Amino acid sequence: MDFAKQISQELNISPAHAAAAIELIDGGNTIPFIARYRKEATGSMDDQVLRRLGERLEYLRGLEKRREEVLEAVRQQGKATPQWEADLAKAVTLAEVEDLYLPFRPKRKTRASMARARGLEGLAELIKAQKTGTDPEKEAESYINEEVPDAQAALAGARDILAEEISDDARLRAELRRFYHAFGLITSKAAKQEESVYEPYYDFSQPVRQVADHRVLAMDRGEREGFLKVSIEVESERAAQLTARFFVRGQSPSAAQVDLAARDAYTRLLHPALERELRAELTERADEGAIRVFGENLRQLLLQPPVKGKVALGMDPGYRMGCKLAVVDATGKVLDTAVVYPVPEFKRVEQAKKVVKDLIRRHGVQIIAIGNGTAGRETELFAAEVIRELGGGVQYMVVSEAGASVYSASPLAAQEFPQFDVNLRSAVSIARRLQDPLAELVKIDPKAVGVGQYQHDMPQKRLNEALDGVVEDCVNQVGVDLNTASAPLLARVAGITAATAKKIVARREEEGPFASRAQLKKVKGLGPKAFQQCAGFLRLPGAKDPLDTTAVHPESYPAARALLELCGFSESQIGTPEIRELPARMKQAGWENLCEKTGAGRPTLEDIAAELLRPGRDMRDSLPPPLLRSDVMSLEDLKPGMELVGTVRNVIDFGAFVDIGVHQDGLVHISQLADRFVSRPADVVKVGDVVRVKVLDVQPAKKRISLTMKGVRQTEKV
């Protein structure tokens, strides 16, 4: 199979670019490296397209391997005909390959195999021929023996053999599969009459071609938990007639027997198999959709703009154990910790205020990060009151603390903060999440960050692969400071393993900061291939060689220097106002001339130029800043019609949850996201977006807030 040609058609890319990408992947290159530094070869495919290409390549190779296994198995049985081999060669899915193998697959003990053992195969073949003048009942009498007491038993056994042959027919299965996709209904009924979140599905039915992925996942979970009975329904008589039409010829007595066998094949064998297959297909599609949504949300969360250069106070709310506090400086270094009890019922609010005010004044705290867990609402009210009493000057933001407890109890946190207990580590993590979400969240299992739906129901291996890919792409897209990055952050850089990351940190601690990228080659275990993959993503602010501060790959240093010289600049001018003329001079010199004299392609030169203009640029700096608050509202303050500004916290199939500052996220249903039809919420909003919303309905008792973005001018959305 020509994988490059097949993939190029599916992904709408050129065969040459697909072939080059496959060669690079097979050569052990990482996706971030290929996406950033091999643009000429791949036609500038981004990391997401390259990952889809890699996944499709793996599937097609698995398909080819399975095709070869099936071909060999059938040839060994001596049953491979030229037509069958041609059909196998044309199969484009694993399901088609398995359909073709089905008649030859070794089977367990079945009604058909027992009938064959009783010597009824000849009668089955006679009936199958459907010759005019053949009397099946009369013919069946000659097959009576100790195990076949009468002609009716013989006919029943022959029909069992025919039913199995009919159910194994690849053409029929393909036709019925199309029928089920076109006309099938997925239905669910209550398995027990109890109140539950699954009540909308106690009497539910929808065409399989229309059912939304989140409904499939909800029904699957409801079935697993014993609340629902889920099935696939079609017009059984129509499906049985379709099955019979494939095999029944004429109206002879034999044809009548074949018709009975065909209907039995459909009811007993085909429908259960197709139902299982279609359910599995719907679940797989829904899983992939949920994983994609989770990945998109995670990408937006990781790429949230950092709040740089500010001293932060992290507050990890709690009742019995109190509210844990940690002050960290602008670099994330812990300056101070404390535990207070700001919840009124403990009657220590004034003491808590005194401690927090002292920390703010003594350390010059400028921002407060408040975890959104237990007692978060009370802590937010407390923080807003403290800010008012201080006369302002400090802002706060409620931060998702999903995964903070997982991190704080991990060996990594114990190694990073051996002097602090588990609770104080959480407060440090919450503060750092506001300062630099990416650097902090990479320490946590991606599944624990709380921006997905049904993630615990997903195939965990596939989910882990997809989310790890997102984290890797984000880390490499932003770049990493070689002299300050933690081992977990370094381990996410292309080409660097967890073991190598620890060695880099150890070398840094023993011998001091790296002075150049080239010194990485001295790190034990980091060979030439690993250096090639990682070097461009590692930054050295303030390095002697100004190119070491940029995303220019060391292999392109000669091209970068040649470009500077051709355009009349020196390396000392990198990042200075003088070099702003670089694009104009490049245009004047001409791309063909520049490519020829530098030995680099146009995409590479464009990337080099961007880095020379703004060395070490953090792409997150161009994104809208997070929404910081200094006051708070309560759920009771909300009234229908109010317009508010909020932050999108999660995007799911049926809408988006928005934090509007009342400690209870409101739902903007998919139908309320825009004044136009929206098929995917992610097309309108992303995690971290600051949006204007209008309150539709508030149900304090149920803690439900319904919001809309319809008719609301998104001047605040940035």
How far apart CA 163 and CA 183 sit, in angstroms, is 24
Judge if 654 and 684 occupy the same domain: yes
| pLDDT tens-place string over residues 534-572 | 999 999 998 999 999 999 999 999 999 999 999 999 999
Segment 391-413 mean pLDDT: 83
CA atoms within 13 A on the CB side of 96: 17
Residue 450 pLDDT: 66
Collapse the DSSP code of 660 into the 3-class scheme (helix H, G, I; strand E, B; otherwise coil) and give the result. coil
For residue 609, report the phi and psi dihedrals to the nearest 5 degrees. Answer: -60, -45
Q: pLDDT tens for residues 653-690?
A: 889 999 887 768 899 999 999 989 988 898 899 888 88
Look at residue 51 and tell me if it is in a domain. yes
CATH number of the CATH domain containing 137:
1.10.3500.10
CB 409 within 8 A of CB 426: no
Strand partners, 185: 207, 233
Which pLDDT band, with edges at 50, 70 and 90, does 412 fall under? confident
332 in Cβ contact with 432 (< 8 Å): yes
Which domain CATH number covers 78? 1.10.10.650
Residue 263 sits in the same domain as residue 345: no
Q: What is the rounded end-to-end Cα distance, in angstroms, of the chain?
A: 47
The pLDDT tens digits for 316-337 are 998 888 999 999 999 889 999 9
Structure confidence by residue, pLDDT tens digits, 490-509: 999 999 999 999 999 999 98
Distance from C-alpha of 57 to C-alpha of 194, rounded to nearest angstrom: 47
Mean pLDDT estimate for the chain:
91
Q: Residue 321 in 3-state DSSP?
A: coil
Residue 345's pLDDT is 81
- Residue 654: inside a domain: yes
Point out the domain boundary residue: 104, 120, 135.
Answer: 104
The three-state secondary structure class of 457 is: helix
Q: Residue 716: its pLDDT value, please?
A: 44
| Single-letter code of the amino acid located at 5 | K
- What confidence tier does 302 reach under pLDDT thresholds 50, 70, 90? confident
Are 429 and 392 in the same domain? yes
Residue 713 lies in a domain: no
Instruction: Encode burial over 203-238: b for 16+ CB neighbours within 10 A, e otherwise.
Output: ebeeebeebebbbbbbbbbbbeeebbebebebeeee
Query: With contact defined as beta carbons under 8 Å apart, do 567 and 586 qualify?
Result: yes
Q: Residue 367 has which token pair?
A: 């921002």
Q: With bands split at pLDDT 50, 70 and 90, how would you rate the model's confidence at 715?
A: low
378 found inside a domain: yes
563 and 615 fall within a common domain = yes
Q: For 459, how many CA atoms within 13 A lie in the half-sphere containing its CB? A: 13
Average pLDDT over residues 111-129: 94
Local confidence band at 516 (pLDDT 50, 70, 90 cut-offs): very high
Q: What integer is the mean pLDDT of 27-47?
A: 95
The one-character DSSP state at 266 is I
Q: pLDDT digits over 202-219, tens only? A: 999 999 999 999 899 999
Mark which of 69, 88, 104 sits at the end of a domain. 104
Whether 474 is in a domain gets the answer no
| Mean predicted confidence (pLDDT) in 376-383 | 86
How much is the pLDDT for 117? 92
pLDDT digits (tens, 9 = 90+) for 682-711: 889 988 888 889 999 988 887 889 999 998
Kindly give, in sequence order, each residue whose CB lies less than 8 Å from that of residue 156, ignoring residues fewer than 6 positions away: none
Q: Are residues 156 and 138 in the same domain?
A: yes
Dihedral sign for Cα 259, 260, 261, 263, please: positive
Q: In terms of domains, do 256 and 349 share one?
A: no
Contact between residue 596 and residue 552 where contact means Cβ atoms under 8 Å apart: no
pLDDT of residue 643: 86
Choice among 527-531, 601-605, 677-681 with the minimum mean pLDDT: 677-681
The whole domain housing 618 covers 506-622
| CA-to-CA separations, 204 to 189, 219, 425, in angstroms, rounded | 7, 10, 47
287 and 151 within one domain: yes
The predicted structure's pLDDT at residue 542: 87
pTM: predicted TM-score of the whole model, two decimal places = 0.81
Digit-coded pLDDT (tens) for 72-109: 999 999 999 999 999 999 999 999 999 999 999 988 88
Query: Domains in the chain: how many in total?
Result: 5
Do 115 and 93 belong to one domain? Answer: no
pLDDT-derived band at 445, boundaries 50, 70, 90: confident
CB of 339 closer than 8 Å to CB of 322: yes
The conformation of residue 191, written as its DSSP 8-state character, comes to S
Q: Which two tokens stand for residue 629?
A: 């608050």
Q: Which residues, other chains included, contact 231 with Cβ-Cβ below 8 Å and sequence gap of 6+? A: 186, 187, 188, 275
Proportion of the chain above pLDDT 90, given as a percent? 66
pLDDT reading at 364 higher than 70: yes
Q: According to the model, what pLDDT value does residue 646 have?
A: 85
460 and 578 in a single domain? The answer is no
Q: What are the structure tokens assigned to 263, written together?
A: 């209907």
Rounded to whole angstroms, what are the CA distances from 203 to 129, 236, 275, 385, 684? Answer: 46, 20, 19, 50, 32
- Average pLDDT, integer, range 251-255: 93
Residues 396 and 263 in one domain: no
CATH code for the domain of 671 = 2.40.50.140
Q: Which of 121-130, 174-183, 681-690 has the lowest mean pLDDT?
A: 681-690
Q: What is the predicted pLDDT for the residue at 634?
A: 73
Which of 588, 622, 656 is where one domain is finished?
A: 622
- Please indicate, yes or no, whether residues 597 and 640 belong to a single structural domain of this protein: no
Predicted confidence at residue 452, as pLDDT, reads 63
**Residue 401: pLDDT band by 50, 70, 90 thresholds?**
confident
The CATH number covering residue 385 comes to: 3.30.420.140
Question: Is residue 451 pLDDT above 70, yes or no?
Answer: no
Task: Copy the structure tokens of residue 210.
Answer: 């229309």
> What was the pLDDT predicted at 717?
43
Identify whether 219 is part of a domain: no
Q: How confident is the model at residue 69 (pLDDT cuts 50, 70, 90)?
A: very high
Per the domain annotation, does 430 fall within a domain? yes
What CATH number does the domain containing 567 carry? 1.10.150.310
Average pLDDT over residues 512-529: 93
Same domain membership, residue 94 and residue 119: no
Q: Is residue 15 in some structural domain?
A: yes
